[in-house]
Amino acid sequence: MNSFKDKTAIITGATSGIGRGIAEALKEEGANLILSGRDAARGVQLENQLGRHAHFVAGDIKLPQANAALVQSAMERFGRLDMLVLSAGQLGVGKLDALSLDEWHDTIATNLNAVFYLLKYAIPHIQSSGGGSIVIIGSVAAFHAFPNHPAYTASKGALPALVRQLAKDYGPEIRINLLSPAQVVTPLLHDSVKAFDNPEEILEGTAQRLPMKRLGAPRDIAQTALHLLGPQSSWVTGSNFVVDGGFLAT
């Protein structure tokens, strides 16, 4: 317990799903938290739940200034920045020829451009704090096609290459790894299966096809994220960790 005491993390997409699960797990380990999301009401509720070592900053991470504000808040409130968890995501469901320009650009902006913005503003402060660890939440969609998800798969597909590049450029002070889940029970998953005519049947059928015979839970991803953020993975960087219940084996 408390292996992250006095360390500070920024978590995007913190108000629901995987991001929230990681925030709750880091709180139990004693970390200071800067929480990012667009829903101010859910953000304040989460801040109250996690206590005085958590601070919510509302904003749209598609905007560079929203990411800069997260870093500024971390330094002003806690005086250091040690960890990033980039968990915000957007789907952009629809066949490519039917996808609007706005949906394409918004999905790329959320899943890829926002990663660039936060890393750009945060990395110098992680370096000045003595180094740290970064986890980006990717997706098995980088390695497996799903019907009607072209913007999502394209944006997630860029992340393995980016992680390898940053590991080379910023090691040994900063470790950076990709965590790629499959079907985890989150609002994003329920939005994703709307691409099908029978979404509930798709979810049940997916669970039964997985070797583990169940969908993932945010806690499944959170435990791997904590491992990658912590000192027990001190020789791990530039890697992709698939947490998928065996999905890619099917």
H runs (alpha helix) in the chain: 17-28, 40-50, 64-78, 101-108, 114-128, 150-157, 159-170, 187-192, 199-209, 218-229
Question: Could you say which of 117, 121, 152, 170 is catalytic?
Answer: 152
What are the counts of helices (DSSP H) followed by strands (DSSP E) for the chain?
10, 7
Burial of 107 (C-beta count, 10 Å sphere; 0-12/13-18/19+): buried
Burial 82-105 (b: 16+ CB within 10 A, else e): bbbbbbbbbbbbbeeeebeeebbe
Residue 152 bears catalytic tag: yes
- Name the DSSP class of 42: H
Residues designated as active site: 152
